[in-house]
Structure 1
Amino acid sequence: MAEQDGAIYDRLTRVPERDWDKNAGLDALLNGAREPFVLRGFVADWPLVQAGQRSAADARRYLLDHARDRPFTVSIGPPGHDGRLFYDADMAMNFRTGTGKLGDIFAGIEASEAQDDPRTVYLGSIDIPAHFDGLDEANPIDLGDRDPLHSVWIGTRTRIAAHNDFPDNLACCAAGRRRFTLFPPSQFRNLYLGPIDNTPAGRAVSMVDFDAPDLAAHPGFVAAMAEAQTVELDPGDAIFIPSMWWHHVEGLAPFNILVNYWWRDTPAWLGQPQEALNHAILAIRDLAPEDKAIWREMFDHYVFANDGRVTDHIPPAARSVLAPLTSESAGRLRAFLLRALNR
């Protein structure tokens, strides 16, 4: 399924495109959305997009005009690995990570553009307010009452393994081209996930090479691809990726910029589900089967069913964290967990 063999993507379902009214904001489209969709031309009027339409060099100059004088974290892969930021044969990362000034990083990209097989250079999930002055204000987006994290992803041709994120995500192609291949949350088994504690960027990733899938090792990937949706974004286009949807992301142009916004509809003081999964692996996974069966029932009772049988027999004032959580009770529970984990 290499980029030059685009036929495989022609056979996949396209991510639906939605009509939009920028003056009305996105609330009508985003509220309760659980399926991905594309907004063509959504940020086409951004100065950053217009700079990128002129040239990659203009896009870099535009970012440098807003960049703060501070280190930027950059990942660099050697020539010959086709932009795939992944594991090597020993399950270490096949790229190295360092820091540098944005101008120096961009100078390296510019110097390598004429090479047949340049190094991969990738600045991933760069926090915009911390690293740029006025970039958000000059390239605004209206997400209503949501308070998102603002990030920018900058790089040469890249292939980022399929992964998912807990927050909802609106990703805007600002320069170059991006291909997204998306899978519903239920397809995680058929994506053959790697370790959860040794990852390229903090989230477990699919071990399948989408350009050359090994169907003997990963036979379920055929079923995953039957459920996949794909789209290529041009500058100015945006895609909404709901919470927990898997996405394989490719930067298809020699130079690419993506701006994304992450938010949760749940309060920020709630815990991270991934941390609960990690702790369950630590505390429950390796118990005897009969003990795990008991704890499965306990989780069903307290967490997944969470019906009146949990609390109806307890006076309302005494239900503590069994009642719906507040910021105060969540803080007490977090402190309790920290004390327990530090014993």
Structure 2
Amino acid sequence: MTDASPLGTLARVATRDGPLPTGAAWEALIAEGRPVLFKGAANDWALVKAGKGSATEAAEKLKAWHSGDPVVVYRGAPEIGGRFFYTDAVDGFNFKATREPLAPVLDEILGTKDDAGAGSVYIGSTDASAYFPGFRAENPFDLAALHPMLTAYPGLASLWIGNRTTAACHYDYSHNIAVAAVGRRRFTLFPPDQAANLYPGPLEPTPGGQVVSMVDFTKPDLVRFPRFAEALKAGEVADMEAGDVLVYPAMWWHNVEALDAFNVLVNYWWNAVPAYIDSPQVTLLHALLSLRDRPADEKAAWKGLFDYYVFGDAAHPRAHLPDGAQGPLAPIDDMTARRLRALIMRKLQR
């Protein structure tokens, strides 16, 4: 990011020193609903210490913790500049994915780290428990002290490894704790209400599983995407050194740049709801099928019903009903979720 770029004027993410807060202080942090950067909160990690020694030391740690299973590797030509995205015609992707042994890929990245013309190499979202079973013991967070959902679903910790690459701006429906374990990272973040100003791309296929902004942040085209100028007014930037930890809320859009020749990011996704609560992304897709193309007056009526049943006070629609008659209006538990899911499936298959 240079001063000449319109992104150079973005506000900085709020920064704090010290470890991540726990207990009531953590709940208060999440309630703020904004990203916060904690400087040096993972400095004690073995991987962070190794990476500060050298990229080779960090790579050797990863090899030692690795299970031996092949990993998914994404490769792009030098021309993509590290930005894994669509082709110019949006009829495919500008990269290829293969499954390969980890160690040779790490050696390849290390061997080309001084080559400015090297292609882009990226090992994305690799489950820590399954692929790096030795990782957690030497790189611990007291997750239970932060939020119980962080320990309920241990598979939600992932490693991201590569050279100078960019994950195009996207949102996740989970909260995130992102650790710059090796190398520097830059997160450019936007609140959820900026979605229209970020020009989301196709719902599917997507480069990495989530809808991405069509704006190239390295050279934003404000003629083609004029509302991006409005998004910039609300954007925030977090420049991360190794050992820094960024906490940001679900549904915040984020563009992620790896700034060094060898980088490792570790992230922990979590939700404040149990696993039996379905993804709202599924609801969005079905709403496109069932609601979007109805007449405006019908959509307005359905919006009122959604406000009543979904977005308003959950207790209100059931308050006047006996407990035994509330059905899916009652607080949802695992059994209620199963019944409601089965009902939905029957209606979709009619």
Code of the residue aligned with 2:61 in structure 1: it is Y
Whether contact under 8 Å (2:184, 2:240) holds in the other structure is yes
Task: Give 1:66 deviation, angstroms.
Answer: 0.8
CA distance in 2, matches of 1:174, 1:27: 27
In structure 2, relative to structure 1, the CA distance for the partners of 1:26 and 1:323 (3 Å cut) is closer
Task: Give 1:162 deviation, angstroms.
Answer: 1.0
Partner of 2:62: 63
Whether contact under 8 Å (1:33, 1:242) holds in the other structure is no
Partner of 2:108: 108
TM-score normalised to structure 1 length: 0.93
Please give the secondary structure, in 2, of the residue aligned with 1:80: helix
Matched, 1:259 2:266: yes
Whether contact under 8 Å (2:2, 2:8) holds in the other structure is no
Q: Which moved more, 1:333-342 or 1:244-253?
A: 333-342
In structure 2, relative to structure 1, the CA distance for the partners of 1:307 and 1:264 (3 Å cut) is closer
Partner of 2:18: 20
Matched, 1:335 2:333: no
In structure 2, relative to structure 1, the CA distance for the partners of 1:4 and 1:309 (3 Å cut) is closer
CA distance in 1, matches of 2:23, 2:333: 28
Partner of 2:83: 84
Code of the residue aligned with 1:95 in structure 2: it is F
Partner of 2:99: 99
Code of the residue aligned with 1:133 in structure 2: it is P
CA distance in 2, matches of 1:270, 1:185: 21
Matched, 1:124 2:124: yes
Whether contact under 8 Å (2:174, 2:269) holds in the other structure is yes
Matched, 1:210 2:217: yes
In structure 2, relative to structure 1, the CA distance for the partners of 1:130 and 1:191 (3 Å cut) is same
Code of the residue aligned with 2:253 in structure 1: it is W
Please give the secondary structure, in 2, of the residue aligned with 1:165: coil
Task: Give 1:340 deviation, angstroms.
Answer: 2.5
Partner of 2:173: 166
CA distance in 2, matches of 1:151, 1:63: 13
Task: Give 1:87 deviation, angstroms.
Answer: 0.7
Partner of 2:42: 43
Partner of 1:29: 26
Task: Give 1:175 deviation, angstroms.
Answer: 0.6
Whether contact under 8 Å (1:39, 1:237) holds in the other structure is yes
Q: Which moved more, 1:148-157 or 1:171-180?
A: 148-157
Partner of 2:201: 194
Aligned 1:281-300 pairs, distance under 5 A: 281-300=288-307
CA distance in 1, matches of 2:317, 2:255: 40
Q: How many pairs does the alignment contain?
A: 340
In structure 2, relative to structure 1, the CA distance for the partners of 1:295 and 1:53 (3 Å cut) is same
Task: Give 1:25 deviation, angstroms.
Answer: 3.8
Whether contact under 8 Å (1:26, 1:142) holds in the other structure is no
Task: Give 1:252 deviation, angstroms.
Answer: 0.5
Task: Give 1:211 deviation, angstroms.
Answer: 1.0
CA distance in 1, matches of 2:298, 2:93: 37
How much identity, in percent, do the aligned residues show?
40
1:185-212: CA deviation from partner (whole Å, max 9, x where unpaired): 1111110101112211111111111111
CA distance in 1, matches of 2:112, 2:133: 28
Partner of 2:135: 135
Q: Which moved more, 1:281-290 or 1:75-84?
A: 281-290
CA distance in 1, matches of 2:40, 2:282: 37
In structure 2, relative to structure 1, the CA distance for the partners of 1:248 and 1:30 (3 Å cut) is farther
CA distance in 1, matches of 2:343, 2:319: 24
CA distance in 1, matches of 2:24, 2:313: 30
Whether contact under 8 Å (2:7, 2:232) holds in the other structure is no
1:254-276: CA deviation from partner (whole Å, max 9, x where unpaired): 11100111111112211111110
Code of the residue aligned with 2:86 in structure 1: it is Y
Task: Give 1:21 deviation, angstroms.
Answer: 4.5
1:147-186: CA deviation from partner (whole Å, max 9, x where unpaired): 2511011011012111111111010001110001111111
CA distance in 2, matches of 1:312, 1:183: 37
In structure 2, relative to structure 1, the CA distance for the partners of 1:267 and 1:307 (3 Å cut) is closer
Task: Give 1:315 deviation, angstroms.
Answer: 2.0
Task: Give 1:305 deviation, angstroms.
Answer: 2.5
CA distance in 1, matches of 2:27, 2:120: 34
Q: Which moved more, 1:282-291 or 1:80-89?
A: 282-291
Whether contact under 8 Å (2:19, 2:40) holds in the other structure is no
Whether contact under 8 Å (2:187, 2:237) holds in the other structure is yes
TM-score normalised to structure 2 length: 0.92
1:96-149: CA deviation from partner (whole Å, max 9, x where unpaired): 111001012112223322422111001111100000121011100112233251
CA distance in 2, matches of 1:83, 1:324: 46
Q: Which moved more, 1:142-151 or 1:61-70?
A: 142-151
